[in-house]
Amino acid sequence: MSKTKVLALWRDEKMNDDEARILRTPCAEIPAPFGPDSRRDIELLLEAFLEREDALGLAAPQIGVSRRVIAFRNRNFDKKGRVNNAEDCDVLINPRITQARGEPVKGLEGCLSCPDLQMEIDRFPDIKVRALDRDGRKINRRYNDFLARIVQHEMDHLDGKLIVDYEGAAYVPEKNKNFFDRLFKKE
Ligand SMILES: [Zn+2]
């Protein structure tokens, strides 16, 4: 079975304007109670996330669905391979940060939609998030440290924001250095 395609701003040193347009589009909220189309969008994202071995999280716009849904691993971060049960993963619909605490902490982030790039980004180490769960129930969750970083990263996608938009230091493979030099100069 082929995996769901994850959209990327560039691939093999070529910019993908069509995919970028979708990744850059702010996503729409999903009204509750969820109708069949909304349920399908939520399941599509969860399935796309569960079939990947190389993602800690995934946001709906990355699979071309402009809706406010994110899925991410919520424990066992150092375990290899894909998440194989739904308990190891959180799905948040229409997430909103209601409280962010602590001094922002620097950390390196990569993104399937920004291949070969790692950026140093400041994130809050302690956030509270209000969202709906997969059944459309209101939930409030608190996330700390690495998990708080993942949630903030995935939530950025819902507003069309990607790691390449941050100011921090960029780390790229030597062989792609020219490509990234041009990319960052242009922006
Ligand atoms: Zn990402």
Task: List pLDDT tens digits, range 139-160.
Answer: 999 999 999 999 999 999 999 9
Q: Is 109 in the active site?
A: no
98: CA distance to ligand 1 center in Å?
A: 21
Count of Cβ atoms closer than 10 Å to residue 177 Cβ:
10
Given pLDDT bands bounded at 50, 70 and 90, which one contains residue 53? confident
Written as six digits, the tokens of 105 are 């902490």
Distance separating alpha carbons of residues 71 and 49, to the nearest angstrom: 7
* Cα 155 to ligand 1 centroid, rounded to whole Å: 9
Instruction: Output the CA 111–ligand 1 centroid distance in Å.
Output: 4
Catalytic member of 154, 167, 174, 187: 154
User: For the chain, which domains are there?
Assistant: 10-186 (3.90.45.10)
Residue bearing the bigger pLDDT, 88 or 125 = 125
Angle at 169 between CA 168 and CA 173, to 5 degrees: 140
What are the C-alpha distances in Å from 29 to residues 32, 40, 68? Answer: 9, 15, 5
What percentage of residues in the chain have a pLDDT greater than 90?
86
Work out the mean pLDDT of the chain and round it to a whole number: 94
For residues 165-185, give the mean pLDDT. 94
Task: Give the Å distance between the CA of 35 and the centre of ligand 1.
Answer: 27
Alpha-carbon span 177 to 95, nearest angstrom: 36
Report d(CA 133, CA 98) in Å as an integer.
16
pLDDT exceeds cutoff 90 at 125: yes
Segment 8-44, tens digit of pLDDT = 999 999 999 999 999 999 999 999 999 999 999 999 9
